[in-house]
Amino acid sequence: MAALKVVRSGSRLLNGFQSLLNNPRKVTCGVAATVTKHPRWYCVSHLSVQERIERKRKAALSGGGQQRIEAQHRRGKLTARERVELLLDPDSFVEYDMFVEHRCSDFGMEADHNKYPGDSVVTGQGRINGRLVYVFSQDFTVFGGSLSGAHAQKICKIMDQAMMVGAPVIGLNDSGGARIQEGVESLAGYADIFLRNVMASGVIPQISLIMGPCAGGAVYSPALTDFTFMVKDTSYLFITGPDVVKSVTNEDVTQEELGGAKTHTAVSGVAHKAFENDIDALLNLREFFNFLPLSNKDSAPITECHDPSDRLVPGLDTVVPLETTKAYDMLDIIHGIADEREFFEIMPNYAKNIVVGFARMNGRTVGIVGNQPKVASGCLDINSSVKGARFVRFCDAFNIPIITFVDVPGFLPGTAQEYGGIIRHGAKLLFAFAEATVPKITVITRKAYGGAYDVMSSKHLRGDVNYAWPSAEVAVMGAKGAVQIIFRGKENQAEAEAEYVEKFANPFPAAVRGFVDDIIQPSMTRKRICRDLEVLASKKQANPWKKHANIPL
Amino acid sequence: WGTYWTLPATMSVAGSRLLHLNELLRQSSRTVVGVSSKIISRERYQSKLVVHKVSISCCSSVLQTFDKILIANRGEIACRVMKTCKKMGIKTVAVHSDVDSSAVHVKMADEAVCVGPAPTNKSYLNMDAILEAARQTGAQAVHPGYGFLSENKEFARRLAAHGVTFIGPDTHAIQAMGDKIESKLIAKKAKVNTIPGFDGVVKDAEEAVRIAGEIGYPVMIKASAGGGGKGMRIAWNDEETREGFRFSSQEAASSFGDDRLLIEKFIDNPRHIEIQVLADKHGNALWLNERECSIQRRNQKVVEEAPSTFLDPETRCAMGEQAVSLAKAVQYSSAGTVEFLVDSKKNFYFLEMNTRLQVEHPITECITGLDLVQQMIRVAKGYPLQHRQADIPINGWAIESRVYAEDPYKSFGLPSIGRLSQYQEPVNIPAVRVDSGIQEGSDISIYYDPMISKLVTYGSTRAEALQRMEEALDNYVIRGVTHNIPLLREIITHPRFVSGDISTKFLQEVYPEGFKGHQLSDSERWELLATAVALFVAAQLRSQRFLGNLSDELETCSHVCLPGNSLVCRFLQVDLDGKRVDVSSEWNLASALLPVTVNGTQRTVQCLSRSASGEIDLQYLGTSYKLRVLSKLAAALNKHMPEKVPEDTSSILRSPMPGSVVAVSVKAGDTVAEGQEICVIEAMKMQNSMTAAKTAKVRPYSSALSSL
């Protein structure tokens, strides 16, 4: 606690300096006041200290120097400070630890020219659209952004404070890795950050934006945060680089193939989205930030909304094709119901058979999960289950209501899936939906077959409001398969199939049992959901006390 | 009031306005605003109503026609016919293909019968199925609309054999006018002007000169076996005729191995003007004035108007009388259209006669106040015409734009397909009529005509009608498919069109390089930039406003637009390189339409898309423009951002999941076009069509279709 107190008073001190320096008029006043109080002390040391402050500040602001800044620009990347400036509201950034320097004395590091005020990271807090956020931005121009003990300490400081005040942390990663000169101190620094990432998980939203290299142990910090975004062509994430890969496994692979934005957003699922360039990424991050509550004590934000909550969406009445085997785009439905057709999709290129992302309903942030019939018929497989589960857990942790659109023919069969552990991974999605206590609204648009029906936020998993569209079919399986089992070896399969369709390929079996609360006209969906969210805003539900649950990882 | 709402002829000028007022009244009863306009509109309505009551009461006494009509068509024309049927108290039967089963015309009809799968020859052209549908539903008459079976004499004959009335002319009229050569002969006999020419073979140059003299210059000399412009010469005097004869016969000999030549009157700067006729089964016929349909591309009409700026009363009357005499010559009954080519000296020549309701009939309805479908139904029942020629007025001006799902930048319109993700017709503008058969969420499919709607505006003068058309096009929201509104808006505002200086070559002459969208003037450029910047700022400001603070209960529980603080930023000043531009708007960012006032000029622009990184896609003056707005800081830093070359993934086609190949749509050696289906994969009870991402040639391949 004592340490924390120091940190806080220290920061207050810094705040004072900041505002003094930002406003020259205030400085003059300050001088006048101080002179009368401590005339001698001030007169003696004033010039030199003031000069040193100025010099250090100037040095801090220019990072690794003009040459390195230009090199950074040539790579198509912005500097750490430019990034912070773009990310935050104008003039809102309050910097911490500008005077911190590394403490390494080996390998000539103690020399003055090897000391950079602030070291290789810029930290502080500021505002995005007026809302508080803590930021660290690694400075590639100083020792390649490498992580020293001091660097780690700076990050830890803002994370601790962010946790206490309840505000998100955004990390802008651009670092070559550990500061090798510092050895184990650097490793300790990583671990300190990891610990805080874990402690902050579920308390404040944590976002990582990879804007350059991020390799080795460093990758685990972004991996522990809630969202990892990347910049196309200029950012990489990998445990070991192409050279090590070559020497160990004899694989020839480029940086981009091994850990570029495309790899991680489409193949590995490590990153949640990639953006064109630094500016695009930072501006999108601002937009994304508006969806998030500041902490787990905060409710989902409500922005001013111009889209009427009772707007009918006639297009939805014809969106589901008449043939049950024909695909359609779930995004058509999501865009149709969301405020202003706006949907911030998370992981749009990974496990595309499930769609997850944020939207607003009558101004309020909601998380949307939907099976995507356009891709692999919208079935659930390993990747889509994990993708969905993580998203649902984020929403639940941060009080964001979940709206689920169901059109799922089942879990994907096959050896690849079974060997890969679809049972284990599918259970994650089931677990996530079941434990979530935020408002849960489910709309069955077409198929809800088998176990996958149960999983997709069904009534049985404490869905608050479950709707079916007239095209909904809630059943154990499709008619053909069911009839083959029920009437195995019998004739008149076609007749039996027709009977099965008549009995089960409609919303009634679920509706008569109360498993769906109502059968609604698709065009009314937005209106109904907005009204339900209004009602469910005061929902209170708790899970039994436990240290933590044991999700099947 | 309620009783009258059902009465007005929706198709007449007054009617279209009434419909709108009706809307207005319904709206105003819900909201407090518009009280004053409600009163005004009622008064206006009343004065119109008097006129209407007269015309309706005189026909309502003899209105007993059919109990049930089957409409053998789809889309807007099916809906159009049903509207009149409803007005006349006639029950309607729709026929549809399976993909159309939830189409608007099906929902609108009292009954609907599926007549087959999507391809037209199996559904809308399937006579057996349609006849069966008529029998099954007990429809007494069939309205064929236009296209499909509307000019099919076999269909008319078979209906008659089943005792079902065909709402259209008799079979012999269909037959006579359906044949190009026969129709010309009949026309000639009925003293209708036909294109003068020498049907026989011209022997030598001197004979050519003599014939040309008889026909009158200019003349066209063309190869008898010709085609594609080969062996074709235009001559304006004797000298050119001799020369043309020589060249043409040489060219014809070398191109076709046949040097026989014909001579025909050359129609210089032709206009396509057609006369609407209406005839009954008692030998009466009327002409309902003309429609100017010169704006065409690939012989398809794009913009039509009535009346024509070009015709004087004498020419109009002469054309009308000839059209009527042709109709009488073939004992025509029902509505029909006689098409003429009109040259720059107002000489007119018969082209052909369409024995059906034309696509562009609404503009005639607007200026005459007649409901053509109603007239057709009456005539089909055997009633005599209720009007005399002297009763047919030209009231005001009407313009029709055909709104198509087409890309106007590719040879003035190549069909596009897709789903109408957002669709809003500009029916809130007075004197606008939209005939459409689709709605939000409808699919524009490959099977049918890509027409979205017919947008008709009316005005007491042409200028007023044009001005309304401009406004209507700006307020027309179509998202999800490429549409031709950019082209339509350019045409109706082009100085040549506005002055009435048009011909069938208008588009080729005005856009010799192809249509490139609206070309911004300097002031328009400023206006567009200022609008985009102001929109950007309005969006930025709004994204800083969070509600739901307990401080303001009122705001949280209402979804009403524009809480007080929004008004602060209603007026924005944009500084563009030292030039001050004032932009004001309500900044309703959820609406597809964005009415703005820029330096005092009111406009409706549409924001097609807006991204976090500052990209704004604005539809301005019909054309969509891509803009990027950045803060000063971001703009300054943008120079460091690398230029990206988009990656080409079009050469790879990968199945999204394991499945069985149920159909291969190409064979080795085929050239496939972009978007063309290559094969169909079935997996998870679903068929996925795999399409080519770019034009390519198919190499030999091996595949085994799995049996189902």
CB neighbour burial string for A470-493, b if at least 16 within 10 angstroms, e if fewer = ebbbbbebbbebbbbeebeeeeee
Residue A74's closest chain B neighbor by CA?
Answer: B640
Question: What is the structure's pLDDT at B43?
Answer: 35
Detail the DSSP E strand segments found in B539-685: 546-547, 571-576, 579-585, 593-598, 601-610, 615-620, 623-628, 660-664, 671-672, 677-683
Tokens of A315: 């297009």
DSSP B356: S
- CA-to-CA distance for A516 and A464, rounded, in angstroms? 10
- Residue where the block lists tokens 């707005």: B629
Question: What is the structure's pLDDT at B11?
Answer: 35
Q: Are B396 and B13 a contacting pair, CB within 8 Å?
A: yes
Looking at the predicted structure, is the pLDDT value of residue A90 above 70? Answer: yes
In this complex, do A315 and B421 lie within 8 Å of one another by their Cβ atoms?
Answer: yes
- Residue where the block lists tokens 């795999």: B690
Question: What is the structure's pLDDT at B624?
Answer: 95
Q: Of A156, A142, A134, A138, whose CA–CA distance to A59 is shortest?
A: A142
Q: Of A348, A353, A378, whose CA–CA distance to A448 is shortest?
A: A378
Enclosing H/E stretch for B423:
strand B422-424
C-alpha B259: how far from its chain's center?
Answer: 42
Of the ranges A34-43, A55-64, B639-648, which one carries the lowest mean pLDDT score? A34-43
Output the pTM of the full model: 0.83
Q: How confident is the model at residue B227 (pLDDT cuts 50, 70, 90)?
A: low
Tokens of B296: 């065409």
Question: What is the structure's pLDDT at B247?
Answer: 83
Query: How many CB atoms neighbour CB A512 within 10 A?
Result: 9
Of the ranges A86-100, B281-295, B370-384, B571-585, which one carries the lowest mean pLDDT score? B571-585
Burial of B549 (0-12, 13-18, 19+ CB in 10 A): exposed
Question: What is the structure's pLDDT at B59?
Answer: 44
Reported as a single tens digit per residue, the pLDDT across B592-618 is 999 999 998 999 999 999 999 999 999
Reported as a single tens digit per residue, the pLDDT across B112-148 is 999 999 888 899 999 999 999 999 999 999 999 999 9
Q: How confident is the model at residue B418 (pLDDT cuts 50, 70, 90)?
A: confident
The shortest C-alpha distance from A510 to chain B (Å) reads 22
Looking at the predicted structure, is the pLDDT value of residue B569 above 80? Answer: no
Looking at the predicted structure, is the pLDDT value of residue B463 above 60? Answer: yes
Q: Are B542 and B588 a contacting pair, CB within 8 Å?
A: no
CB neighbour burial string for B568-590, b if at least 16 within 10 angstroms, e if fewer = ebeebebeeeeeebebbbbbbbe
Cβ-based contacts of B542 with chain A (< 8 Å): 303-304
Of the ranges B72-76, B170-174, B549-553, which one carries the lowest mean pLDDT score? B549-553
User: How far separated are the first and last CA of chain B, in Å rounded?
Assistant: 62
Based on the residue annotation, tell me whether B43 is a catalytic residue of this protein. Answer: no
C-alpha B539: how far from its chain's center?
Answer: 36
Question: What is the structure's pLDDT at B23?
Answer: 42
Encoded amino acid at B259, one letter: D
Q: Of A258, A230, A94, whose CA–CA distance to A173 is shortest?
A: A230
**ipTM of the shown complex:** 0.87
Question: What is the structure's pLDDT at B694?
Answer: 79
What does pLDDT average to over chain B?
83
Tokens of B392: 């047919």
The shortest C-alpha distance from B254 to chain A (Å) reads 56
Looking at the predicted structure, is the pLDDT value of residue B469 above 80? Answer: yes
Q: How confident is the model at residue B558 (pLDDT cuts 50, 70, 90)?
A: very low
The residue among B685 and B687 whose pLDDT is bigger is B687
Reported as a single tens digit per residue, the pLDDT across A172-228 is 999 999 998 998 999 999 999 999 999 999 999 999 999 999 998 899 999 999 999
Q: Are B403 and B484 a contacting pair, CB within 8 Å?
A: yes
Which one of B423, B544, B641 has the shortest CB-CB distance to A278?
A: B641
Distances (CA, A) of B381 to B56, B282, B374: 18, 12, 11
Tokens of A335: 């865009």
Q: Does A39 touch chain B (CB under 8 A)?
A: no
Question: What is the structure's pLDDT at B706?
Answer: 52
DSSP A380: B
Give the best residue of B543, B549, B567, B617 to mutate against chain A (max A CB count within 10 A): B543
Question: What is the structure's pLDDT at B602?
Answer: 93
Encoded amino acid at B484, one letter: N
Tokens of B77: 């024309």
Detail the DSSP E strand segments found in B586-664: 593-598, 601-610, 615-620, 623-628, 660-664
Question: What is the structure's pLDDT at B545?
Answer: 87
- Pairing, β A518-519 against β B593-598: unpaired
Question: What is the structure's pLDDT at B266?
Answer: 86
Reported as a single tens digit per residue, the pLDDT across A133-168 is 999 999 999 999 999 999 999 999 999 999 999 999
Q: What percent of chain A has pLDDT over 70?
A: 92
Looking at the predicted structure, is the pLDDT value of residue B534 above 50? Answer: yes
Looking at the predicted structure, is the pLDDT value of residue A552 above 80? Answer: yes
User: What dihedral angle (degrees, nearest 10) is formed by the CA atoms of A419, A420, A426, A428?
Assistant: 130
Cβ-based contacts of A371 with chain B (< 8 Å): none
Give the best residue of B543, B561, B628, B684 to mutate against chain A (max A CB count within 10 A): B684
In this complex, do A306 and B442 lie within 8 Å of one another by their Cβ atoms?
Answer: no
Tokens of B184: 């010309």
Question: What is the structure's pLDDT at B482?
Answer: 93
Give the best residue of A127, A279, A350 to mutate against chain B (max B CB count within 10 A): A279
* Chain A from 52 to 81: CB within 8 A of any B CB: 73, 76-78
Where residue A357 falls (left for φ over 0; alpha for ψ -120 to 50; beta otherwise) is: left
- CA-to-CA distance for B481 and B241, rounded, in angstroms? 50
Q: How many Cβ contacts (< 8 angstroms) between chains A and B?
A: 154
Average pLDDT over residues B578-599: 91
Question: What is the structure's pLDDT at B63?
Answer: 64
Reported as a single tens digit per residue, the pLDDT across A396-442 is 999 999 999 999 999 999 999 999 999 999 999 999 999 999 999 99
Peptide bond into B495 cis (omega under 30): no
Distances (CA, A) of A454 to A44, A457, B484, B619: 77, 7, 47, 45
- Range ranked top by mean pLDDT from B91-95, B176-180, B587-591: B91-95
Question: What is the structure's pLDDT at A462?
Answer: 96
Encoded amino acid at B164, one letter: V
Residue B308 neighbours by CB under 8 Å, 6+ apart: B271, B273, B290, B291, B292
- CA-to-CA distance for A334 and A373, rounded, in angstroms? 13
- CA-to-CA distance for B97 and B108, rounded, in angstroms? 15
- Residue where the block lists tokens 């002319």: B169
Residue A275's closest chain B neighbor by CA?
Answer: B613
Query: How many CB atoms neighbour CB A217 within 10 A?
Result: 16
- Pairing, β A206-210 against β A169-173: parallel
In this complex, do A306 and B563 lie within 8 Å of one another by their Cβ atoms?
Answer: no
Reported as a single tens digit per residue, the pLDDT across B626-640 is 999 999 999 999 999
What does pLDDT average to over chain A?
90
The shortest C-alpha distance from B560 to chain A (Å) reads 7
Reported as a single tens digit per residue, the pLDDT across A110-127 is 888 889 999 999 999 999
In this complex, do B658 and A414 lie within 8 Å of one another by their Cβ atoms?
Answer: yes
The residue among B617 and A322 whose pLDDT is bigger is B617
Reported as a single tens digit per residue, the pLDDT across B83-94 is 999 999 999 999
Reported as a single tens digit per residue, the pLDDT across B640-667 is 998 887 767 777 777 766 667 878 888 8
In this complex, do A314 and B440 lie within 8 Å of one another by their Cβ atoms?
Answer: yes
Residue A104 neighbours by CB under 8 Å, 6+ apart: A110, A148, A149, A179, A181, A182, A185
Cβ-based contacts of B641 with chain A (< 8 Å): 76, 277-279
Looking at the predicted structure, is the pLDDT value of residue B42 above 70? Answer: no
Distances (CA, A) of B339 to A518, B275, B444: 58, 6, 30
Q: How confident is the model at residue B258 (pLDDT cuts 50, 70, 90)?
A: confident
In this complex, do B683 and A377 lie within 8 Å of one another by their Cβ atoms?
Answer: yes
Q: How confident is the model at residue B548 (pLDDT cuts 50, 70, 90)?
A: low
